[in-house]
Amino acid sequence: MERVICDKMNYLANEGHKIAFVTYIQGSHPLAYNLSPMIDHYDLNTRFFELSKYSFIRRIKEHIKLRSIFKDRLQSLVNNIQPDIILTTTFQFGLTDIITKLRTNAIKLIESHIGFRQILFSEVHKNNKFLSLLSTIPDYYFLAQIKKFDALITLTKGDAKEWGKYTQNIIIIPNPVTNYLIEIPEKTNFNQRIICVGRLAEQKGFDLLILAFNLIKDQCPQWHIDIFGHGEDKEKLNRMIIEKGLYGRITINPPTSNIYSEYLKSDFLVLSSRHEGYPLVLNEAMSCGIPCVAFTCKYGPEDAIIHKTNGLLVENGNIEKMAEAILWMINHPKERINMGKAAREASELYKKEIIMKKWEELFSSHISQSV
């Protein structure tokens, strides 16, 4: 999400738009991604994450106080900047009411990047029935704020359908491919390598991938999987790899700044996620001419992959079917190459200039309506 937002801001700034980037807990920490020098960055220095050090009652009091500071500082900044458009994300779910109540004539837009269910407070506490039930109260309150925005932008049709219960002003604009390669080398040899990319966390389902590959490991002894990512589940996943006798067949690599070169050295990508906001890795891999195998998780794979045309879709969470799909892809090199070519063609729709044109049209249409 951070990378995509920075990419979009840089594009808009280079196109002559004036961009003010507002964070609120960044402090003096460097940004994860480079910003154009034409972008003005402001930080409100409202460090909500520090509230965890207080007792429960003190935390509530401090939270109320910090929300008030956030509101005042943001309003003051808006007064000074006088923006035409204010754009936020559902990631700041608990602050949406402050944004909707800002005193300004600016158009207010909100983006959904992580999927409807993942932002709900009740979902965070789903393992505790009492807290989950109690959390439905703030959920209802903040969901009511969504319809107060001029538009909600989602990445997928599935996520748009979920949000449709709370607002009718929904526009679907997928994420752009960060670096669309103008040319890619033609596949003339096979590396017998499967690539997977993502955080080493429960959401990404790499445990399911290991179980699936374990079912077919003896039927494809020359093939191996390279996973690129970091996260809290690294030790757990490495233990699974060793326990299943897959050491040397599945390797967990650190993230790389040159992931596109890794796509080009791979034969296909597997996405084993349990859920997604939108798996950008699919479009990245497809743009490099390799097909993808993915669970039909909520949401994104069914928007990007046309089954048996540019990849394979597998029933969400079905390990046996995932194993069958991986083995089919391994055993059908000609079809795999053709799928890769189709994937490359489909990925053209996600070029940055095409996606960002939709954003500029969205901005222009709302500004013209407000005049």
Q: What would the pLDDT profile of 71-97 be if each residue is shown by its tens digit?
A: 999 999 999 999 999 999 998 899 999
Residue 8 confidence (pLDDT)? 95
Residue 229 confidence (pLDDT)? 96
Average pLDDT over residues 349-371: 89
Strand partners, 41: 21
Residues 93-114 pLDDT 10s: 999 999 999 999 999 999 998 8
Strand partners, 89: 111
Lowest mean pLDDT segment, chosen from 54-58, 222-226, 265-269: 54-58
Are both 305 and 362 inside the same structural domain? no
Are both 70 and 208 inside the same structural domain? no
Q: Which residue has the tokens 């960044």?
A: 26
Average pLDDT over residues 20-30: 92
Quick check: is 183 in a domain? no
Are both 42 and 149 inside the same structural domain? yes
Contacts of 357 (CB under 8 A, 6+ apart): none
Q: For the chain, how many structural domains are there in total?
A: 2
Q: In this structure, what CATH number is given to the domain that contains residue 127?
A: 3.40.50.2000
Q: Which residue has the tokens 């690129």?
A: 228
In angstroms, rounded to a whole number, what is the distance separating the alpha carbons of residues 316 and 272?
9
Q: Is the pLDDT of residue 316 over 80?
A: yes
Average pLDDT over residues 133-143: 92
Average pLDDT over residues 222-251: 97
Q: Encoding tokens for residue 54?
A: 């207080």
Q: Which of 268, 200, 271, 270 is nearest to 230 (CA)?
A: 200
In angstroms, rounded to a whole number, what is the distance separating the alpha carbons of residues 310 and 342?
5
Kindly report the pTM of this predicted structure: 0.87
Residues 180-211 pLDDT 10s: 888 898 877 789 999 999 999 999 999 999 99
Quick check: is 141 in a domain? yes
In angstroms, rounded to a whole number, what is the distance separating the alpha carbons of residues 134 and 131?
5
In angstroms, rounded to a whole number, what is the distance separating the alpha carbons of residues 76 and 273?
41
3-state SS string over the chain?
Answer: CHHHHHHHHHHHHHCCCCCEEEECCCCCCCCCCCCCCCCEEEECCCCHHHHHHCCHHHHHHHHHHHHHHHHHHHHHHHHHHCCCEEEEEHHHHHHHHHHHCCCCCCEEEEECCCCCHHHCHHHHCCCCHHHHHHHHHHHHHHHHHHCCCCEEEECCHHHHHHHCCCCCCEEECCCCCCCCCCCCCCCCCCCCEEEEECCCCHHHCHHHHHHHHHHHHHHCCCCEEEEECCCCCHHHHHHHHHHCCCECCEEEECCCCCHHHHHHCCCEEEECCCECCCCHHHHHHHHCCCCEEEECCECCHHHHCCECCCEEEECCCCHHHHHHHHHHHHHCHHHHHHHHHHHHHHHHHHCHHHHHHHHHHHHHHHHHHHC
Residues 3-23 pLDDT 10s: 899 999 999 999 999 999 999
Q: Is the pLDDT of residue 366 over 90?
A: no
Quick check: is 187 in a domain? no
Lowest mean pLDDT segment, chosen from 133-137, 151-155, 201-205: 133-137
Quick check: is 186 in a domain? no
Are both 8 and 102 inside the same structural domain? yes
Are the beta carbons of 19 and 109 closer than 8 angstroms?
Answer: no
Quote the mean pLDDT of the chain: 94
Proportion of the chain above pLDDT 70, given as a percent: 99
Are the beta carbons of 251 and 266 closer than 8 angstroms?
Answer: no
Average pLDDT over residues 57-66: 94
Q: Is the pLDDT of residue 370 over 70?
A: no
Are both 275 and 126 inside the same structural domain? no
Quick check: is 122 in a domain? yes
Domain residue limits at 216: 193-350
Average pLDDT over residues 221-239: 97
Residue 371 confidence (pLDDT)? 55
Are both 228 and 345 inside the same structural domain? yes
Q: Encoding tokens for residue 354?
A: 């095409």
Are both 266 and 169 inside the same structural domain? no
Q: What are phi and psi of 186, to 5 degrees?
A: -75, 140
Are both 161 and 76 inside the same structural domain? yes
Average pLDDT over residues 137-156: 94
Residue 318's pLDDT band, with cuts at 50, 70 and 90, is very high
Are both 138 and 11 inside the same structural domain? yes
Quick check: is 184 in a domain? no
Average pLDDT over residues 319-342: 97
Average pLDDT over residues 261-269: 96
Are both 12 and 143 inside the same structural domain? yes
Quick check: is 272 in a domain? yes
Residue 201 confidence (pLDDT)? 95
